[in-house]
Amino acid sequence: MTFVIVGASAGLGRALAEKFASEGHDLIVISSELKDLNAIKSDLQNRFNVKIFPIEMMFQEHTLDFKEFDETIRLAGKISGVLLPIFVYLSIIVWEY
């Protein structure tokens, strides 16, 4: 089974990546920091012998490019679940004088 984890580079997302990898699941890990994702990939693949597909994506961007995501999904095969343990800070001005 393959799972997608958004926000996998730290905190709850990182803990979930470790848990699912330890159970033998392949992962597509998404975060804004490719350097962190590559470190996670190396660690989890070495310890748990699973496939890890890192994708760098900035969800704060107004325009997202899903080409890499689509290609990764094609390579990874069927997705069993998507985990979204992320926090996105949005600055919204409701009223300005």
Whether CATH 3.40.50.2000 fits 2-83: no
The per-residue pLDDT for range 9-52, each reduced to its tens digit, is 888 999 999 999 999 999 999 998 899 999 999 999 999 999 99
The per-residue pLDDT for range 44-97, each reduced to its tens digit, is 999 999 999 999 987 666 566 778 888 888 899 888 988 888 665 555 555 544
Domain residue spans of the chain: 2-83
Element (H, E) at 55: strand 52-56
Q: Measured between alpha carbons, how far is 91 from 12 in angstroms, rounded to an integer?
A: 23
pTM value surpassing 0.85: no
